[in-house]
Amino acid sequence: MTGCCFPVTLDRSRSRRGSSKLCSSKPRRKENYKGPLIVCFGEMMMNLVPTVLRVSLAEAPAYKKFPSGATANVAVGASRLGVSAAFIGKVGNDEFGCMLSDILKQNGVDSSGLVFDDDARTALAFYALKSNGEPEFLFYRNPSADMLLRPHEIDLSLVKKATIFHYGSVSLITEPCRSAHLAAMSMAKVSGCILSYSPNLALPLWPSKEAARQGIMSIWNYADIIKVSVDEVRFLIEGDDPYDDKVIMMKLYHYNVKLLVVTEGERGCRYYTKDFKGWVAGFKVEAVDPTGAGDSFVGGLLSIVAAHNHIYKDEKRLREALDFANACGAVTVTRRGGIPSLPTKDAVLTVMFSCDS
């Protein structure tokens, strides 16, 4: 996809390697983290969202920018909940890339793993929630900087420090980012990190539905924790009942996984471990925009798992963690945008207590 219909002025004279940089020098990595560390690997981008609700992209009178990206959302979400978090990825050495880097820092996320590319732009995604509730996406990646992250650009020493290494599936779509993803994941595995996987369908970015299905499943058996939405389950199991526990256990549960979670929006979530399975009810709120709700859920869950990494053996504590994660998602849907909608712990507890009363 080429071109851009958004009026942004970028100085192309700075787009070549060796030329002057727009962004400040790479930040020094933190040496001492407060408690366990969650390292998130993947994409960070700028979403352009209509300034009015419930219109298509073509009908929008204007757009507002919102920082986003599934795994970046998880990193910021965990940090806002008081847990140490770091992000590994790549953005362009342009105005949007600088802005995204600053947003990570402002939210307390270690951004030392963020790489700037002088030759490719930061990814843009136009997103709208139409009047019928159907989401509409238009991506500008031709290629974008996140697609060009190479294995040698990854700070493996940062990966080794992780208690939890979290990733998605968009970084599996093209090379060289796919190889970078696999290299980081392998290092995390041998370093004893908990591997957390939350695939993101993003079908417009894949060559085909079958390529998406195969790509997402290609690393399925490596994860310790997997979170999927019921819509993603429906896509992956190809026609079987996504609410059937037997189907889930047969097609999606594997011998390495310690916890599999299926989210169902305001209905809550289902969980599966080797020893038990169950369902935790969600929270009913006035929903405005579902963007980032699943990532907020993951950030909330991992913020607790990081401190209790054998939680999958304690059903009572696991249910409490999933209740907290459900509340994180509930707060997020009451606001607009990706990162701006992610809650603090106080906001989450307010929802939990108000719904209990």
- Tell me, what DSSP letter sits at residue 12? G
CB 41 within 8 A of CB 166: yes
Cross-strand partners of 197? 167, 226
Token readout for 133 is 């509730």
Q: Is the pTM of this model over 0.85?
A: yes
Domains and CATH numbers, the chain: 37-355 (3.40.1190.20)
Q: Three-state SS for 176?
A: coil
Q: What average pLDDT score do residues 89-104 get?
A: 97
What is the distance between the alpha carbons of residues 101 and 196, in angstroms, rounded to a whole number? Answer: 23
Per residue in 4-34, pLDDT (tens digit) is: 332 333 333 333 333 356 776 565 566 667 7
Distance, in Å, from the CA atom of 30 to the CA atom of 193, rounded to the nearest integer, reads 19
Position 28 scores a pLDDT of 59
pLDDT tens digits, 275-306 = 999 999 999 999 999 989 999 999 999 999 99
The pLDDT of residue 133: 82
Distance (Å, rounded) from C-alpha 348 to C-alpha 325? 9
What DSSP element (H or E) covers 112? strand 110-117
pLDDT at 338: 86
Q: How confident is the model at residue 140 (pLDDT cuts 50, 70, 90)?
A: very high
Task: Give per-residue pLDDT as tens, 231-280.
Answer: 999 999 998 899 999 999 999 999 899 999 999 999 999 999 999 999 99
Q: Are the beta carbons of 111 and 97 closer than 8 angstroms? A: no
Contact 80, 55 (CB under 8 A): no
22-36, 144-158, 168-182, 193-207: least confident range: 22-36
What's the rounded Cα separation, in Å, for the pair 164 and 60? 40
Residue 229 has pLDDT above 70, yes or no: yes
